[in-house]
Amino acid sequence: MIYKKIAISGLNNSRFNYIKKRFKTTKFLILNDKNYRNKTIKSVDAIVIFAEWPIKKFLQNFFKDGYQKFKKIKWIHFSRAGIEDFLSVMKNLKIKITCGKKLQSINASEHCLALLLYLIRNLNNKNEHVVPGEINGKNVLIIGLGGIGSEIAKKLKIFGANIDAIVLKQRKISRVNTVHDKQYLKKIINNYDIIINTSPLTDLTKNLFNKNIFNKMKAGVFFINLSRNGSIDFKDLKNYLKKNRYGGIGLDLSEDFLKIKMKYLKNFKNVKVTNHKAGITTNLERRFELMEKNIERYIYKKKMINIVDFNKGY
């Protein structure tokens, strides 16, 4: 007897067949841009998004008005961590949303290190007179101590860095010397050689890095941003870059944003931009394990992992 119907996007045949055998009392359907208008798909109880590439049109339509046609839907799972693009609509939906928070902590933290080492070791060779530096002994401030920020702190501690943090929710964490509230950012920002932003994009962090913060940064600072584009005021960043007071800037930005607004970055020395690659990895096991656990918890009415708090925005 079938008790639930769940549509899944992005699974290969072997993984899809595994899920079907694993949960025999649930009917699983493949969701893609070709079939999302079908009546059978519209009757599902839940949508599980393992990969978004097969459902780009679906996502655009679903959060405009399409969700109203999914009368029975009670749960949506995203494998991505950041879902701020959909928050304004999802607040109006009486359904549970889960996401991939902490899934990308390993690959994103390694991406952060790659950017930082590229910049601090002067690997772009644009200025032969700049002596390569090192992380050891540097004072580091990490803004946001979720899964990614915590993993970065773990790795930088091995490099010999002195690490402090800014958090939205006060708590003690190993490998970090001092944890500050967000309100102290402007007061303490000039104490650090390396500043890394991994904070979620919310109303509290939108344009967090603006002229008031950039102008307080110490000369020769290295700034890495793995957060969403909206956490930076890019007009203020451009003006800051013109002053040439920084040591290096590393940004992981979305492709569309790069094409439209950020072409000028190539004109500045020791600036490295990547095309939203921090969250990408060949290892999809963590993503699959989380998806499988949440399907099980949904079917058996247990508390699911990474439920989105609409008030917090993540």
Residues 70 and 33 sit within 8 Å (Cβ to Cβ): no
Same domain, 123 and 260: yes
Same domain, 92 and 9: yes
How much is the average pLDDT of 179-189? 81
Residue scoring higher pLDDT (209 or 86): 209
82 belongs to a structural domain: yes
User: E strands along 82-207, which residues?
Assistant: 96-98, 139-143, 162-167, 178-181, 194-197
Domain with 66 in it: what CATH number?
3.40.50.720
Same domain, 124 and 270: yes
134 belongs to a structural domain: yes
Count of CB atoms within 10 A of residue 235's CB?
12
309 belongs to a structural domain: no
**Total structural domains within the chain:** 2
Highest mean predicted confidence (pLDDT) among 35-39, 146-150, 175-179, 293-297? 293-297
Residues of the domain holding 157: 105-275
Same domain, 72 and 110: no
Regarding pTM above 0.75, the answer is yes
Same domain, 49 and 193: no
Q: Tens digit of pLDDT for each residue in 270-294? A: 899 888 888 889 999 999 999 999 9
312 belongs to a structural domain: no
Q: Tens digit of pLDDT for each residue in 66-86? A: 677 888 999 999 998 877 666
Q: What pLDDT sits at residue 34?
A: 94
Q: List the one residue out of 14, 87, 11 whose CA is nearest residue 52.
A: 11
Same domain, 112 and 96: no
| Residue 275 to residue 14: CA distance in whole angstroms | 30
Counting residues of the chain whose pLDDT is more than 90, the rounded percentage is 58
Same domain, 82 and 163: no
Q: Tens digit of pLDDT for each residue in 51-66? A: 999 999 998 888 777 6
| Residue 250 to residue 115: CA distance in whole angstroms | 6
Looking at the DSSP bridge assignments, the partners of residue 49 are: 9, 78
310 belongs to a structural domain: no
| Residue 196 to residue 223: CA distance in whole angstroms | 6
Same domain, 232 and 120: yes
Alpha-helical (H) ranges within 159-264 are: 185-188, 211-214, 234-243, 255-261
Q: What pLDDT sits at residue 10?
A: 96
89 belongs to a structural domain: yes
Q: List the one residue out of 44, 10, 11, 42 whose CA is nearest residue 26.
A: 44
| Residue 201 to residue 11: CA distance in whole angstroms | 28
Same domain, 119 and 234: yes
| Residue 183 to residue 312: CA distance in whole angstroms | 17
Same domain, 263 and 189: yes
| b/e burial code for range 118-131 (CB count within 10 A of at least 16 → b) | bbbebeeeeeeeee
Q: Which residues, 6 or more positions from 32, have their beta carbon under 8 angstroms from its beta carbon? A: 9, 54, 55, 58
Q: What pLDDT sits at residue 224?
A: 97
Residues 310 and 91 sit within 8 Å (Cβ to Cβ): yes
Same domain, 181 and 75: no
184 belongs to a structural domain: yes
Same domain, 75 and 127: no
308 belongs to a structural domain: no
| Residue 182 to residue 187: CA distance in whole angstroms | 10
